[in-house]
Amino acid sequence: MNQQAPDPRLFIPASVSAEAAAILAVIGGVIASLPPREPPRTLEDFDAAKARGEAFAAQMTAAPLAALAPELEPWTAGDAPVLSVRPRSAREGAAPLIYVHGGGFAGGSAHANLLTAALAAETSGRVVHSVDYTLAPRAQWRQVIGEVVAVCEAVARDTPAFGLFGDSAGGCIAAAATLALRDAGAATPSALVLISPVTDLAGGGDTNRTLAPYDYLDADVLAPALRAYADPADWHEPLVSPIRGDFKPGYPPTLLQVGTREILLSDSVRLHRALRAAGQSSRLEIYEGMPHVFQPTLAQTPEGVAAWAEIADFWLEHLA
């Protein structure tokens, strides 16, 4: 009788902390037990996937959010809804942060991704303005980037400096919005943090293939969202795939964080090299054995504590 090969996504290296290993074992087991899902095709499919993601996020983040207890305030910048997250440890006069959430361009929200914003606020002592941008397929890249730019411009009117950060798809949007702000002569963020960002919608990096069996992300399921966010004919555009951007002077110092267990590792490496080749300040931090956007889920592990401290120090260095 043929014995089924073990699921490579369940492998946990001995090189990660015991705390991280325990959590990764639970996450891997949950993901492996989920039934296969067909990629979304209709608007109803996308809405159903978004609803499932939000329900899962609400269940998983309720306890840590209750412990953080941030103060929330909704507002709008133009047509873009924003959720401001004020930590208990807010430092008076500290430059604020703007957050662009992940979710594969078609999922997530300021509330579903609230834990990431709350952790960023708590660890830095800064107010975080989370952009609730319109999701694909209801909006494509031009509208989405326009909404993030509008929030940046609104925040910039009230402060001499601000930081911008995003994770996964949100990292792609944040990097592109920074290009758009710079090229328009508008106020750009003083520093940029990108967590496991998408930088090439065409997936041309080495690890897009070599690490695919080990990543929790299913590229086949995500592919329709990429096409909904931007037509493949536009994937060469710098505001769609920031790896194709011109990082001339005016692009802010950038910190990239990524794990060794994700297909987007090459996206971060390639963007880091492009920034350095253009003479810009870029710092790439690669975390051993860590999956895609580990920072919120593993926030209390040694790896998560180190990542958030690193981000907070980066803000402190560049947001004087």
Percent of the chain residues topping a pLDDT of 70:
99
Percent residues over pLDDT 90 in the chain: 89
Average pLDDT (261-267) is 97
**pLDDT of amino acid 125:** 98
Mean pLDDT of 109-128: 98
Is residue 70 reached through a cis peptide bond, with omega within 30 degrees of 0 on the bond before it? no
pLDDT 10s digits, 232-244: 999 999 999 999 9
In CATH, the number for domain 52-318 is 3.40.50.1820
* 161-200 residue pLDDT tens: 999 999 999 999 999 999 999 999 999 999 999 999 999 9
Q: Which residues make Cβ contacts (< 8 Å) with residue 55, sequence separation at least 6?
A: none
Full-model pTM: 0.96
**DSSP-assigned letters across all residues of 76-107:** EETTEEEEEEE-TTPPTTPPPEEEE--STTTS
Query: Hey, what amino acid is at 296?
Result: P
Residue 2: what pLDDT? 55
**In the prediction, which pLDDT does 35 show?**
83
Helices (H), the chain: 18-33, 43-68, 114-124, 141-156, 169-183, 207-210, 219-229, 265-277, 294-297, 302-318
The rounded Cα 260 to chain-centroid distance in angstroms is 16
- Is the pLDDT at 4 greater than 80, yes or no? no
**Looking at residues 97-106, what average pLDDT do you find?**
98
Name the token pair of 266. Answer: 């090459």
Q: Which range has the worst mean pLDDT, 107-121, 172-186, 213-227, 255-269? A: 213-227
Q: Give the residue-averaged pLDDT of 42-58.
A: 93
Name every residue whose Cβ is closer than 8 Å to that of residue 92 and which is 6 or more positions away in sequence: none
**213: pLDDT confidence band, cut at 50, 70 and 90?**
very high
Question: In the chain, what are the domain boundaries?
Answer: 52-318
Q: Is the pLDDT of residue 5 over 80?
A: no
How does residue 138 score in pLDDT terms, banded at 50, 70 and 90? very high
Mean pLDDT of the chain: 95
Distance (Å, whole) CA 221 – CA 226: 10
- What is the per-residue pLDDT across 18-40, written as a single tens digit (0 to 9) for each? 999 999 999 988 888 888 888 99
Residue 7: pLDDT above 70?
Answer: yes
Local confidence band at 320 (pLDDT 50, 70, 90 cut-offs): confident
pLDDT at 140 (0 to 100): 98
What residues are annotated to the active site? 168, 262
pLDDT at residue 3, rounded to an integer: 65
